[in-house]
Structure 1
Amino acid sequence: MRILVLVDGSKWSQKAALHAFSVAKKKGAKVVLFSVLDRKEAQAIAVSLAMRSGDVEKLKKFEETAWKEMKKGIHDVISALLELGQREGINCSFRIVEGNAREKVLEEANSGKYSLVVMGAYGKSGKTRIGSLLEDVVGVIKPPVMIVR
């Protein structure tokens, strides 16, 4: 059994990983922590920073800084989760890809490699409504999906 955990860096995705670890421990399953980095998110951050600073000339620099911080942030979260999983004796690995989150999540989740997909109910925005990625993918993912709140 292989469990795919969607990790976006939010506390909800970290809670999802903890639940996946619990299931994996009981079932002897392997856990794959999966994250998608989308350049459009870095671009949006850069535009916001450029507008606030009034220095549109630095847009590209802001984008590169945002991109580096996004990559470092997700690596830090996944490293901490991997360490925790390994301490618990769980067979863990990770994959970080670049691209459109919806497309990459569906591609990975529906690859035929997984018996279960685990994801947080909310995303990084922390809004009280269901996360937009969840709304986009939950009905299209073929394996069973566990949504963690």
Structure 2
Amino acid sequence: MKVLVLIDGSKWSQKAALHAIAVAKRKGGKVILFSVLDRREAKAIAFNMGILSQNLRDVQRFEEEIWKDMKKSIKHIMSNLLEMCHREGVNCSLKIVEGSAKDKILEEANSGGYTLVVMGAYGRSGKTRIGSLLEDVVGLIEPPVMIVR
């Protein structure tokens, strides 16, 4: 059994990882923790910071700092989950890619030979409705999908 877990840094994706680890442990499977970083997100935040600070000359600097922090944050979260896998005796690996979340998730989920894809029902915004990324990808992912709330 090979389980893909989509990690976006939200508490929901971390909860999804816990469920995936439990499934993999029971079935003797492997967990792949997968995250997509989209530079467009850093650009948008940096632009907003530039507008708020009334200093658009610093947008490039803001973007680089935000991008660096995004990568550091997701690596930290995934490293903690990797340690948890190892403590539970579950074979686990990390994969972080850059690009469009929808495109990269569909590419990985549908070409990686996965038995199961696990994702949180909500994204980082924590809104009470199902996450928009989930709505975009769930019907296009070929392996079974477990959505964790």
Shared fold by TM > 0.5? yes
- The share of aligned pairs that are identical, in percent, is 68
* Residue 40 of structure 1 pairs with residue 47 of structure 2: no
Q: Which runs of 4+ in 1 moved over 4 A?
A: none
Q: CA deviation at 1:94?
A: 0.8
Amino acid at match of 1:140: L
What SS does structure 2 have at the residue aligned with 1:118?
strand
Matched with 2:54 is: 54
Q: CA deviation at 1:48?
A: 1.2
Residues 1-149 of structure 1: pairs in structure 2 closer than 5 A: 1-149=1-149
For 2:113 and 2:93, locate their aligned partners in 1 and report how far apart those are by CA, in whole Å. Answer: 13
The one-character-per-residue Cα deviations of 1:39-89 (angstroms, maximum 9, x if unpaired) are 000001101111111110001000001100000000000000000110010
Q: CA deviation at 1:112?
A: 4.3
Q: TM-score of the superposition, structure 1-length normalised?
A: 0.99
Q: How many residue pairs end up in the alignment?
A: 149
For 2:69 and 2:44, locate their aligned partners in 1 and report how far apart those are by CA, in whole Å. Answer: 14
For 2:70 and 2:9, locate their aligned partners in 1 and report how far apart those are by CA, in whole Å. Answer: 9
**Unpaired segments ≥5 residues, structure 2:** none
For 1:137 and 1:19, locate their aligned partners in 2 and report how far apart those are by CA, in whole Å. Answer: 20
**Unpaired segments ≥5 residues, structure 1:** none
Q: CA deviation at 1:147?
A: 0.1
Q: CA deviation at 1:131?
A: 0.6
What SS does structure 1 have at the residue aligned with 2:111?
coil
For 1:37 and 1:112, locate their aligned partners in 2 and report how far apart those are by CA, in whole Å. Answer: 19
What SS does structure 2 have at the residue aligned with 1:110?
helix
For 2:52 and 2:100, locate their aligned partners in 1 and report how far apart those are by CA, in whole Å. Answer: 26
